[in-house]
Every structure is written in structure tokens, then in C-alpha cells.
Amino acid sequence: MYYERKIKTTRVFQNEEQKKNDRIEISTESDRGRILNCSAIRRLQQRTQVFPLEEDATIRSRLTHSLEVQQTGRYIAREILKQATQNNVVLFETDDPNESQNYRDAFISLVEMACLLHDIGNPPFGHFGEKAIQDWANENLDKIFEESIPNKSSVLPVDRNMLLLDLKNFDGNAQGIRLVTSLQQLNLTYSQIASFLKYTRGAFEEGKREKIDKKPGFFFSEKEIVEKIYEELNMDLYHRFPLVYIMEAADDICYSIADLDDALDKGIIKIVDFLDYLRRQEQFPKTILEEIEKDYQRSKEQRHNNPNAYFMILLRVKLQKNLVPEIAKHYLINRNEIFMGKLDCALIDTSKKHSAEKREWFDLLELMQNFAREQIFTNKKICEMELKGYKIIHSLLEIFKPVLKVPLDVFKDDEKFRKQYPLQYRLYNRLPKKYQIAYKNAQNDCKNHEDIFGEYLELYYRTRLIFDYISGMTDNFALKEHQLLTGIQ
């Protein structure tokens, strides 16, 4: 099971001559450049991690969180390669040392860039923005589809139901795949896209397995490209790409630390609150608790400008020092299952379950997550801002809803559209041109269906157009757009 069979240079837009001459080291750098210069990455700097509409630049945004995940992912990937060398585990088939190094570099870079991309599809206001889109879709789309295209006996209801299910299952992970393929058209290698395809089922399908299918990984609109990825990389249906497990582990470590760190900075909690929480956990090892308490005392005694920050540095270093080598070890222990994408749990979960020496550090990570859920995310100010964000996204969808009710024959004719539906026409023209072009390009799919299913597809892509616009906003822009369109400002 050699990684040359997974790390490939193939892209969607690539002629035979390019395929023939492309080298892995050039392809890797090309992917990095495309991702780092992508506007969707820049928009993450004004999108919620935990605290919506945060003005303090030291509090994490989606971008700063993603940068931390990128670094941790790099650390894990390098540790895996180091342990593989130490234990004579052969991951690459080539005997050429230069070619082997190129593939090792590509292994690390694919993980890094997957980590940077992992939150790219998340809408404004985090999971509450995502929930607002899901709720609005479930409340409105059945009626809109029925009124716009009355069901007929000649049409299989499963077609419409499949598209509706896909729209109702809006998810940031699937939107991320859509962003880099259909909207931004970054033309990344199939290996790079597969590296952050965290969940393996389509939004138009029901869940199948406990972990890797619990959420949608891609939409119907990207079904064709995902199928190409699976075919090119020799992946079985509903199986993961191996490097996804590393990206997921890096994210699990980073958000657990970041939530606690930001809450301390905001004054929502104190270190003693976290220590008291750990003391109440009867099964938590005293030795680890004493070590953390010593670090707390050390942070108070040191002449440091920010004792909280110093404590968090000590905690982060200890966590990563203990967790990363163990995670790398279990990646290699499970390398056959992981290579085939068959491991149906997170890498951190299997590492914790089978760890003989470091289990208590995995327990600490889980306790940090539980502490955040119980004492940080329940903070009144956070809850108020989340509710505000939910209302903004839901309201924006209501504002743009009339665009979905314009008859198809009118929607296609610019002059008729402008004259007969002036309000809807103005709303439509607020949508970015690049999204309008993506919608029009998708109409090629509709033309292949002369029956009524083609009409469903058109309405499906029109709905996607609005979802693309609203989910792609930053927190601040969503607030301003809402204020503008509701007449508040």
C-alpha cells in the first residue's frame, strides 16, 4: 500500500500533455499557491470561530484557527513519516531518494492545505448560521418547489425529493467542496480535494455509518467530480482518503485548546474554573492534575505580561507533545485500514481507545471539550450573538426568497425579468457575477434533461445560487447586508 497510488497530479482541467509532464513537486507547490491566494481563504478572517462579530483581533477567527490546525497537521504528518522511517514502515514505493523526498513533502503539504481549507465552507456565525440555512430550507423549499413546478404523474417523486433533501442538508463541509470546485474553480489536484473530503456521503443520501457518514460531505451539484476523484484515486465508495484522518485529528486538538484560550482572553472563565472542573472529575488522574496545577502556579510566579497566555502555552505544548506521537503511532498501526479509508472512527478516538501510556492526555482533551460545552458556549453574551446571527441569516434568506418564485421562462429572459419582476430582478443582480456564472454553467446539466426533472434541476441550482451568496458572506458583511435590505440602515 504505497502512497504514490494516492498522491497524484491529476486535475479536472488538464490535457494529456500536462498530465504527462506534471511532476509531484511542481503540482504540490501549485496547489499551495492556488489555495493561499484564494479569496475564500481571506474571508475566513471575518468569520466566527466561537465569538460572532468579535472586534478584538486577538480572539480567533476561522482563519487564525485554520492556521493553527495547519501547523498541527504538519506536526502530525512529519511525526508519522519520522516514525515510519524509525520502524522501517515503507510508505513509498520508489527507490529514488529525490523522488521519495518529493512524495514525503507532498504528503505533508496535502495535510497542511487540507487543514487550511477545512472550514472554508462554513457560513457566517458558525454552526448557528448553518442551522439557519437548514431550518429555512426545511420550512420553505417543499412549498416553493410544489408551487413552481407542480408534481406530475410522469415524474418520479424520488427525483424532486432527492434534490430537496440535498438542499435541506446544507453543511459547511459540503459547501467547502463546492467552493473549491464549482465556485472558485481552483482546479486543485484530486488528491488535494480528497484530503479535506471529511464526510463521504452526499447530502442527497441518508446517513450510513456512525462516524464518517454522520454528516454530508458533498452536494448533488458536485457528485460528478467526487465520483471522478474516487475513480482516479482508486477509492471505494463511502471510504475516506487517508490524509483526512490527520486533518481531522489536528482540528480536534486545536479547537479544544483554542476555545479555552479565547474564553480566558474574553474573561468568560478563569483558570481556576477549569482546574475546579478537573478536580470534580473523579476518574481523572491526580498526576496529570497536579502537573497542570504546577503550571498554573508557575504562570503566576513568572514575570510574564500575560499569565493566562503563559499557562495556555504550557498546556498546549504538553498536550501536543503527548498526543501527537501517539496519534502518529496509531496512524501507522492502522495504516492498512486508513490507506483504504475503512477506519470508521476518528484517529484520535482509536488512539485513545488503544493507547496504553497516554490515555490520560486524551481524557484531558475530551474534558476540555466538555468544559467548553458546559461553561463557555452557554455564556449569555455568546448565546445572544448566536441568536442574532441565526436571525440575520434566516432573514436574508427570506429577503431573497422571491427570486425563487420567478417563472423559469421569465427568469431566462433578461428583459421580461426586469420589466415583470423589478424587485426580484434587483435582488438577483445583488448576487456576485461569479455566482451567477456558476449558476448559468450549471444549466448545461439541465439541458440534458428535457423532462420536468430539468425544471427541478434549474430551481435546485437557483436555490444553490442564493445559498452560495449568503453562506459565503463574512459575519460583518451579513450584518450590513441585513441592515441595508431591511431598511435598518
The three-state secondary structure class of 447 is helix
Q: Which of 23, 209, 354, 426 is catalytic?
A: 426
Q: Which of 34, 65, 104, 201 is catalytic?
A: 65
The three-state secondary structure class of 216 is strand
Is 451 an active-site residue?
no
Is 298 an active-site residue?
no
Burial letters 255-286, b for 16+ CB under 10 A, else e: bbbbbbbbbbbbebbebeebeebbeeeeebee
Q: Which of 118, 160, 316, 462 is catalytic?
A: 118
Is 426 an active-site residue?
yes
> What is the distance between the alpha carbons of residues 457 and 446, in angstroms, rounded to a whole number?
6
Q: Which of 399, 395, 393, 401 is nearest to 463 (CA)?
A: 401
Instruction: List beta partners, residue 11.
Output: 189
> What is the distance between the alpha carbons of residues 293 and 103, in angstroms, rounded to a whole number?
43
Is 273 an active-site residue?
no
Is 95 an active-site residue?
no
Q: Which of 119, 166, 213, 344 is catalytic?
A: 119
> What is the distance between the alpha carbons of residues 264 and 386, in angstroms, rounded to a whole number?
19
Output the nine-digit C-alpha cell for 488: 435598518
Q: Which of 31, 171, 213, 251 is catalytic?
A: 251
> What is the distance between the alpha carbons of residues 216 and 172, in angstroms, rounded to a whole number?
9
427, 403 Cβ separation under 8 angstroms: yes
Q: What are phi and psi of 11, to 5 degrees?
A: -125, 170
Q: What angle do CA 174, 177, 181 make, to 5 degrees?
A: 145
Which residues are within 8 A (CB) of 220 and not within 5 positions of it... i.e. 6 or more apart?
A: 162, 163, 166, 202, 203, 204, 460
Cα-based distances in Å from 450 to 85, 199, 415, 444, 471:
57, 33, 24, 11, 31
> What is the distance between the alpha carbons of residues 67 and 78, in angstroms, rounded to a whole number?
17
Amino acid identity at 35: I
Instruction: List beta partners, residue 216.
Output: 201
SS (H, E, C) 342-380: CCCCCHHHHHHHHCCCCHHHHHHHHHHHHHHHHHHCCCH
User: Residues with catalytic annotation?
Assistant: 65, 118-119, 251, 426
